[in-house]
């Protein structure tokens, strides 16, 4: 056969190569996990005028004073400082509820959790003690109120101790923004499956953190996903993490990933949830035909994270893939599968190549016959 008869074969071979690339590129799936952190945010409200007033000993002034919770559930405490008068604080405040107790460290502690969006009455007013009736006329006094809060999750005050909150460090929250209430989603089940019929993978949900509520320092949550090999051959399944266009996960969030097969659990990764080490593919499991394993993951937030952690959010993308050559199992392609177009394109390429060869041979014979 002459040189001209072979020129069209590379073109047909190119069609076959393109078809093969299509088949290989679809052997992975991904999920984008969303993360959200909570906030402790309170404010004190009073109905006073804020102006100086002339008062007499024993006369009530101002109030009521309330603490409003604009963040997540928390414990609150208050400290009063008197200026311009020598008297005990307890003699200058009125209407403190029984839920408050005086600590030996100078604070008044609320023994009940202040729920999200709720308020608690602190005092209903203040007064100059009647025992100070000989105070110089025209003198002034001031009562300063300092209120602090700490998250109630993962925190247990000891109201019998000298300092019920212990050595907790209170940080001022400098963040501005609206507070949102986050609640756990329904108890979803997660599945990662390799379909041998279409030689592709899929995930049953788009967010594997969907069952996690809003996270606070000290929180630790676990969940899992079933990994299923629905093919007639052995499959190697891999895992990696990629960045997204959204915010990365906050630093300090810890992640632990393990894989379980036949009751045996193997640690795959432990470290920062957004660690660069996760950018490379890691082998999760090697699953025999028509078998399943389990992906287990745990997210934890260190207790040492303070208000700088408040209202943070982020995303992390998990990608699950398989060796394109694995899991074929000789199964026929079912109508409706995503890979069907690639396989038909491959067959079309073979037919086209054969047709071109026969046409060139026919033209060559006709030329010789003439």
CATH number at residue 304: 2.60.40
Separation between Cα atoms, residue 183 and residue 214, nearest integer Å: 7
What are the residues whose beta carbons fall under 8 Å from the beta carbon of 104, sequence distance 6 or more?
Answer: 162, 163
Q: Is 343 part of a structural domain of the chain?
A: yes
**Are 124 and 236 in a shared domain?**
no
**Are 188 and 290 in a shared domain?**
yes
What is the arrangement of strands in the sheet containing 190-195, beginning at the earlier edge strand?
200-203, 190-195, 220-230, 291-300, 254-261, 264-272
**Are 204 and 257 in a shared domain?**
yes
**Are 202 and 274 in a shared domain?**
yes
- Concatenate the DSSP letters of all residues of 199-219 into one string: TEEEES-S-TTTT---B-TT-
**Are 285 and 317 in a shared domain?**
yes
| 3-state helix vs strand vs coil in the chain, percent to 5 | 15, 35, 45
- Taking the whole predicted model, whether its pTM rises above 0.75 is answered as no
Q: How many domains does the chain have?
A: 3
Q: Which domain, by its residues, includes 201?
A: 27-38+182-322
Q: Is 163 part of a structural domain of the chain?
A: no
pLDDT of residue 185: 45
Q: Is 176 part of a structural domain of the chain?
A: no
**Are 290 and 318 in a shared domain?**
yes
What's the rounded mean pLDDT across residues 240-269?
Answer: 82
pLDDT of residue 332: 36
Rounded to 5 degrees, φ, ψ at 77 are -145, 160
What are the residues whose beta carbons fall under 8 Å from the beta carbon of 152, sequence distance 6 or more?
Answer: 72, 73, 74, 75, 113, 114
**Are 188 and 268 in a shared domain?**
yes
Q: Is 172 part of a structural domain of the chain?
A: no
What residues pair up with 287 in beta bridges, in sequence order? 235
> Which of 128-142, 304-318, 326-340 has the lowest average pLDDT?
326-340
pLDDT of residue 259: 94
**Are 208 and 288 in a shared domain?**
yes
**Are 55 and 132 in a shared domain?**
yes
Q: Is 167 part of a structural domain of the chain?
A: no
Q: Is 327 part of a structural domain of the chain?
A: no
Three-state SS at 89: helix
Structure tokens at 1: 């056969």
**Are 11 and 62 in a shared domain?**
no
66, 46 in Cβ contact below 8 A?
yes
pLDDT score of 184 more than 60: no
Separation between Cα atoms, residue 297 and residue 277, nearest integer Å: 16
Conformational region of residue 271, where left means phi above 0, alpha means psi within -120 to 50, and beta covers everything else: left
Q: Is 166 part of a structural domain of the chain?
A: no
């Amino acid at each position: 056969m002459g040189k001209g008869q072979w020129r069209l074969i590379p073109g047909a071979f190119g069609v076959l190569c393109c078809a093969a690339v299509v088949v290989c590129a679809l052997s992975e799936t991904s999920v984008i996990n969303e993360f959200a952190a909570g906030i402790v945010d309170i404010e004190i409200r009073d109905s006073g005028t804020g102006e100086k007033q002339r008062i007499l000993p024993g006369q009530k002034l101002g109030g009521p004073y309330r603490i409003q919770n604009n963040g997540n559930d928390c414990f609150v405490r208050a400290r009063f400082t008197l200026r311009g008068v020598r008297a005990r604080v307890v003699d200058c405040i009125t209407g403190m509820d029984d839920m408050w107790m005086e600590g030996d460290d100078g604070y008044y502690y609320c023994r009940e959790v202040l729920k999200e969006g709720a308020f608690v009455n602190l005092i209903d007013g203040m007064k100059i003690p009647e025992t100070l009736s000989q105070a110089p006329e025209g003198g002034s006094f001031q009562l300063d109120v300092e209120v602090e809060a700490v998250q109630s999750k993962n925190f247990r005050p000891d109201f019998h101790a000298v300092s019920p909150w212990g050595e907790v460090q209170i940080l001022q929250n400098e963040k501005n923004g609206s507070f949102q209430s986050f609640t756990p989603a329904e108890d979803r089940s997660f599945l990662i499956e390799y379909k041998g019929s279409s030689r592709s993978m899929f995930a049953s949900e788009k967010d594997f953190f969907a069952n996690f509520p809003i996270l606070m320092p000290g929180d630790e949550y676990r969940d899992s996903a079933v990994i299923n090999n629905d093919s007639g051959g052995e499959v190697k399944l891999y895992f990696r993490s990629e960045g997204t266009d959204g915010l990365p996960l906050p630093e300090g969030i810890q992640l632990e990933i393990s894989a379980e097969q036949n009751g045996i659990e193997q640690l795959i990764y432990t470290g920062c949830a957004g660690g660069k080490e996760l950018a490379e593919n890691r082998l999760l499991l090697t699953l025999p035909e028509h078998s399943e394993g389990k992906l287990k993951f745990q997210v934890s937030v260190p207790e040492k994270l303070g208000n700088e952690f408040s209202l943070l959010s982020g995303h992390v993308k998990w990608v699950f893939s398989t060796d394109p050559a694995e899991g074929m199992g000789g199964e026929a392609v079912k109508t409706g599968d995503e890979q069907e177009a690639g396989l038909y394109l491959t067959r079309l390429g073979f037919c086209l190549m054969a047709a071109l060869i026969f046409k060139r041979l026919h033209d060559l014979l006709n030329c010789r016959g003439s």
